[in-house]
Chains A and B, each alone.
Chain A
């Protein structure tokens, strides 16, 4: 059964394929080829949602991506997609979507009825109420009302593909101008890509009936598309260019019309770009112009021509140009009765007027629509003389097609750096063509008539091809066109008089003429300020239909010409992009983002480790067999290391070899602590600074030979440290002969820690070669040898405070070595441990990680004064004398111990002097439950003036409402003399 408002013939929908869909639990039918909006209109559904502030009933206003009103939530539920413009999203069988901004239901919205919304949200509402104490009362109410739609609870699980395109000429827009530009450029041998945001080409030609070179415009479209394909032009329909950045354009391909699995993010680089983005029809402000059933004239036409859908049975048209009369003829042919045409201008000399009058259409020249009647749907209009003389008349209708002229779509031209100027005849701004590589064309440059648009496109295509280095070719013969006459627009922005609080300028943000008047009264003068104060044009539609009328009305109130007031700057994205699309591949399974595994990955997984991402790496967080929860397992592992022993995979540490005759001198410039003084076979804990004196990273420096060093870095800083070394080798130390090589992946590192370490290593390492080093290595000594004929470096160093060795082995030897250690260690109770246990052990010992070395600390803040004293002048040391680095308010590293044995400390908590204090003295950088001390302990950066030992502070975590009393201590909580690691 055909829906009530669908014509039996016409349009480009596929009547053989019925699509069932559900809107707010209502089951409806449409056809393949429909948009959600056209399918709803075909069923006579006009009430689509409620406005965000005033909760007024709203309908479908446009037929394209400029839609401010008809936004819906697709697939309501955990993965729902909010704010989908129904005028763009294509219909599919089984689709479920819902209206937005209503509670409890669309027809009956409590907040609109109670009047809590509405008039109270005037201009600058937020600025006036976002203040204590009033905000305290408003907040719960506003939080419930604020926002458009609701975000999904589950993120995008199918990230879009990304594609990089290179071409000579990119044509944005597949209307008359864009198609001719593409053809002209391609005929000169240019490689051309054409992006059209709509699912099919044609733009206005989809409904404007015209003849081009003797062919019907529909035929011309089909022929053009075929010719372009033959010429090798890449035609990307359903692809909107959303932003221009330097010489790159970002386009979003959504063949499905809404974020889904087939999305593609395109990065397009073009030698020249033709911007044939067309013009957007603009609204007129009059009372009740937001009622469902009030639409742009072009939308009524498009629904009729493309979808064979009548937006109503009886229409009133309200426009300030000649094209409305041609449109009226076409709408009558589509079966819509035209009750009246209201035109504020004097009667134009057009033959079509008499024809319309003979057909019973009432022509109301010099008249305006004063008010729209109706609730959830237009039921009629009140028409009066534009100067208010005479008696208003009431005309019944169920749809009102309004049109205030056309605004060239300037977004991409402005983003490309083109200036704009006001064109008085058009009543709009047009881009100034000043660039050889960015060429606006057609309606985007104010060429609204078909013949002019075609010619302009052809010329633009030729210029673009030349700019891209293609040969100039003889000019083409202009097409012979018969189409609508020039529209003869008379700028007309609002109906003067009446209730200005009901005269909407920006439908999405409920900005009315009254709001603009108020903004001016409150002293706002600049369009950008008014935009921010009133929210004019800040919505997902970016004010495409409302921006210019808003600026014009502002100009009127300011008594300035519109040319001087200007329009607000359109910024990318030109249409909404889900953040998931931009985030792209990050972390999604099955994508190209690399994951780094240590050589022991398989062993960790087999042992039941929970693997945690750290940058690109995966590292074991804890082993599930070791406890029922993360905390239990971590505590068990940490205790076991102190009681017996543990194995830890430290292969993710950055490892860089530095070699060359000047290696030692080079490292003296890089590190504090003068690495040139390290003996061969010895290691030293060293810290490097940034140029500004802040600590960049710490690690061990091993001297392998006189001119050969190995540096270890933190896992996360490995890449930055390598670049830092290479930079100084190339720049500040260019006279030194040195080379830096990243060997991170070549070497695995297994840490064996705990009191039973030495007896375990005696079992695993062949005594012939290893007994002597094992017995003799002092803290920070290392020995190089072989294990199973693969290189092995045994370094005695500890990050746990226990007797510990790092076994640096060739990556391929790591799994057998790990398994041997596991096998021989198991009877003694030696187990593998993860990052959580590592964190407990190192916090107990006051060792540092990136939580403390956070880019904002000097070596003095970390109590490394002795190391600074021993250093040669090195990178950053010159700036350590800055007085501000030594002020009493500057934080310094301290330990914290929870005062109460059962209390917890939270990393990130602010330190305050007493419970009610609001002044932060520092923050907790790391906090753990210490099994060794039986208490929560932590490390903190605390203002020097408060850092005296035994002082009591409060660790405040207001978000979790936890306030823990803690005592300031030395950073080393456990075994302060370090006896255990010297066993």
Chain B
């Protein structure tokens, strides 16, 4: 799999590390953690270019084909993990 890093360009997946899928719905951390929609056509994920620029990226991925549909740096603060 190739991932296009907005800072470094197209790189091999081995340079990146996956952290989590994001669930945009769900008010509490527990809901986001345990009650996911898991749409395979459009998985929203956070990855880090850990063996590169170390930036955090937001990936839209089609899990059926493994294709990366869109990459962006993480500027948007999503809901925090404090559960408050």
Query: Which residues of A line the B interface, CB within 8 A?
Result: 246-248, 417, 669, 691-692, 719, 723, 726-728, 730-735, 873-879, 882
List the B residue with the shortest CB-CB distance to A881.
B83
Which of A246, A692, A719 lies in contact with B1, CB distance below 8 A?
A246
| Residues of chain A with a CB closer than 8 A to B82's CB | 669, 732, 873-875, 877-878
Nearest Cβ distance between residue A269 and chain B, in whole angstroms?
8
B80 touches A732 (CB 8 A): yes
Q: Mark B10-38, 1 if CB is under 8 A from A, else 0.
A: 00000001010000000011100100000
The answer, yes or no, to whether B6 is at the interface (CB within 8 Å) is no
Which of A726, A732, A879 lies in contact with B54, CB distance below 8 A?
A726
List the B residue with the shortest CB-CB distance to A247.
B1
Nearest Cβ distance between residue B53 and chain A, in whole angstroms?
11
Q: Mark B60-84, 1 if CB is under 8 A from A, else 0.
A: 0000011000000011111111111
Which of A692, A723, A873 lies in contact with B33, CB distance below 8 A?
A692
Task: Specify which of A735, A878, A882 lies most central, judged by the most chain B CB atoms within 10 Å of its CB.
Answer: A878
Instruction: Report the 3 A-B pairs with minimum CB-CB distance, sorted nearest first.
Output: A878-B83, A732-B80, A734-B77
List the A residue with the shortest CB-CB distance to B66.
A246
Add 18 more A-B contacts to A873-B82, A878-B30 (CB < 8 A).
A248-B1, A417-B65, A692-B33, A719-B50, A727-B46, A727-B48, A730-B74, A731-B46, A731-B74, A731-B80, A732-B78, A732-B80, A734-B77, A873-B83, A873-B84, A874-B82, A877-B83, A878-B82
Nearest Cβ distance between residue B16 and chain A, in whole angstroms?
11
Docked Cα-Cα span, A15 to B24, in Å, equals 72
A contact face: mostly helix, strand, loop, or mixed: loop
Docked Cα-Cα span, A825 to B45, in Å, equals 54
Nearest Cβ distance between residue B7 and chain A, in whole angstroms?
13
A875 touches B66 (CB 8 A): no
Docked Cα-Cα span, A417 to B64, in Å, equals 10
Nearest Cβ distance between residue B69 and chain A, in whole angstroms?
14
A731 touches B66 (CB 8 A): no
Docked Cα-Cα span, A726 to B78, in Å, equals 15
List the B residue with the shortest CB-CB distance to A724.
B19
B84 touches A878 (CB 8 A): yes
Task: Specify which of B28, B74, B80 lies most central, judged by the most chain A CB atoms within 10 Å of its CB.
Answer: B80
Nearest Cβ distance between residue A162 and chain B, in whole angstroms?
11
A726 touches B56 (CB 8 A): yes
A731 touches B1 (CB 8 A): no
List the B residue with the shortest CB-CB distance to A735.
B77
Docked Cα-Cα span, A882 to B83, in Å, equals 12
Docked Cα-Cα span, A879 to B83, in Å, equals 7
| Residues of chain A with a CB closer than 8 A to B65's CB | 417
| Residues of chain B with a CB closer than 8 A to A417's CB | 65
| Residues of chain B with a CB closer than 8 A to A879's CB | 29-30, 33, 83
List the A residue with the shortest CB-CB distance to B58.
A731
Nearest Cβ distance between residue B42 and chain A, in whole angstroms?
17
A246-B1, A735-B77 given as contacts; is B56 within 8 A of A878 (CB)? no
Docked Cα-Cα span, A599 to B77, in Å, equals 40
What are 11 A-B pairs with beta-carbon distances under 8 A? A246-B1, A247-B2, A417-B65, A723-B48, A731-B77, A734-B75, A874-B82, A875-B82, A877-B82, A878-B81, A879-B29
Docked Cα-Cα span, A44 to B61, in Å, equals 58
A723-B50, A726-B48, A878-B84 given as contacts; is B77 within 8 A of A691 (CB)? no
| Residues of chain B with a CB closer than 8 A to A691's CB | 29, 33, 81
Docked Cα-Cα span, A733 to B82, in Å, equals 11
A731 touches B56 (CB 8 A): yes
| Residues of chain A with a CB closer than 8 A to B77's CB | 731-735
| Residues of chain A with a CB closer than 8 A to B28's CB | 878
A876 touches B81 (CB 8 A): yes
List the A residue with the shortest CB-CB distance to B79.
A732
Query: Which residues of B line the A interface, CB within 8 A?
Result: 1-2, 17, 19, 28-30, 33, 46, 48, 50, 54-56, 65-66, 74-84
Nearest Cβ distance between residue B6 and chain A, in whole angstroms?
13
List the B residue with the shortest CB-CB distance to A732.
B80
B19 touches A727 (CB 8 A): yes
Nearest Cβ distance between residue A219 and chain B, in whole angstroms?
42
Task: Specify which of B28, B77, B78, B82 lies most central, judged by the most chain A CB atoms within 10 Å of its CB.
Answer: B82
Docked Cα-Cα span, A733 to B46, in Å, equals 15
Nearest Cβ distance between residue A268 and chain B, in whole angstroms?
13
Nearest Cβ distance between residue A265 and chain B, in whole angstroms?
14
| Residues of chain A with a CB closer than 8 A to B17's CB | 723
Docked Cα-Cα span, A209 to B18, in Å, equals 54
B81 touches A732 (CB 8 A): yes
| Residues of chain B with a CB closer than 8 A to A877's CB | 82-83
Nearest Cβ distance between residue A718 and chain B, in whole angstroms?
13
| Residues of chain A with a CB closer than 8 A to B2's CB | 247
Docked Cα-Cα span, A489 to B79, in Å, equals 64
List the B residue with the shortest CB-CB distance to A740.
B54
A733 touches B80 (CB 8 A): yes
Docked Cα-Cα span, A441 to B74, in Å, equals 44
B1 touches A727 (CB 8 A): no
Docked Cα-Cα span, A707 to B84, in Å, equals 26
Docked Cα-Cα span, A875 to B82, in Å, equals 5
Nearest Cβ distance between residue B40 and chain A, in whole angstroms?
14
Docked Cα-Cα span, A17 to B39, in Å, equals 63
Which of A719, A730, A875, A876 lies in contact with B56, CB distance below 8 A?
A730
List the A residue with the shortest CB-CB distance to B57.
A730
A723 touches B75 (CB 8 A): no
Docked Cα-Cα span, A878 to B80, in Å, equals 11
| Residues of chain B with a CB closer than 8 A to A728's CB | 81
Docked Cα-Cα span, A246 to B64, in Å, equals 10
Nearest Cβ distance between residue B33 and chain A, in whole angstroms?
6
List the A residue with the shortest CB-CB distance to B77.
A734
| Residues of chain B with a CB closer than 8 A to A732's CB | 77-82
Docked Cα-Cα span, A417 to B33, in Å, equals 31
| Residues of chain B with a CB closer than 8 A to A723's CB | 17, 19, 48, 50
Task: Specify which of A417, A730, A876 lies most central, judged by the most chain B CB atoms within 10 Å of its CB.
Answer: A730
A727 touches B33 (CB 8 A): no
| Residues of chain B with a CB closer than 8 A to A248's CB | 1
Docked Cα-Cα span, A878 to B81, in Å, equals 8
List the A residue with the shortest CB-CB distance to B80.
A732
Nearest Cβ distance between residue A578 and chain B, in whole angstroms?
22
Nearest Cβ distance between residue B14 and chain A, in whole angstroms?
10
Nearest Cβ distance between residue A232 and chain B, in whole angstroms?
24
List the A residue with the shortest CB-CB distance to B56.
A730
| Residues of chain B with a CB closer than 8 A to A873's CB | 82-84
List the A residue with the shortest CB-CB distance to B55.
A730
| Residues of chain B with a CB closer than 8 A to A876's CB | 81
Which of A246, A731, A882 lies in contact with B78, CB distance below 8 A?
A731
B66 touches A247 (CB 8 A): yes
| Residues of chain A with a CB closer than 8 A to B79's CB | 732
Docked Cα-Cα span, A663 to B29, in Å, equals 24
Docked Cα-Cα span, A735 to B76, in Å, equals 10
Docked Cα-Cα span, A430 to B59, in Å, equals 36
| Residues of chain B with a CB closer than 8 A to A875's CB | 80-82
| Residues of chain A with a CB closer than 8 A to B74's CB | 730-731, 734
Docked Cα-Cα span, A723 to B20, in Å, equals 12
List the B residue with the shortest CB-CB distance to A872.
B82
Nearest Cβ distance between residue A675 and chain B, in whole angstroms?
16
Docked Cα-Cα span, A248 to B66, in Å, equals 11
| Residues of chain A with a CB closer than 8 A to B80's CB | 669, 731-733, 875
Nearest Cβ distance between residue A186 and chain B, in whole angstroms?
24
Nearest Cβ distance between residue B29 and chain A, in whole angstroms?
5
Nearest Cβ distance between residue B56 and chain A, in whole angstroms?
4
Docked Cα-Cα span, A730 to B56, in Å, equals 7
| Residues of chain B with a CB closer than 8 A to A734's CB | 74-77
Docked Cα-Cα span, A195 to B79, in Å, equals 50
Nearest Cβ distance between residue A38 and chain B, in whole angstroms?
41
Docked Cα-Cα span, A874 to B82, in Å, equals 6
Nearest Cβ distance between residue B28 and chain A, in whole angstroms?
8
| Residues of chain A with a CB closer than 8 A to B33's CB | 691-692, 879
Docked Cα-Cα span, A817 to B12, in Å, equals 43
| Residues of chain A with a CB closer than 8 A to B19's CB | 723, 727
Task: Specify which of B19, B30, B81, B83 lies most central, judged by the most chain A CB atoms within 10 Å of its CB.
Answer: B81
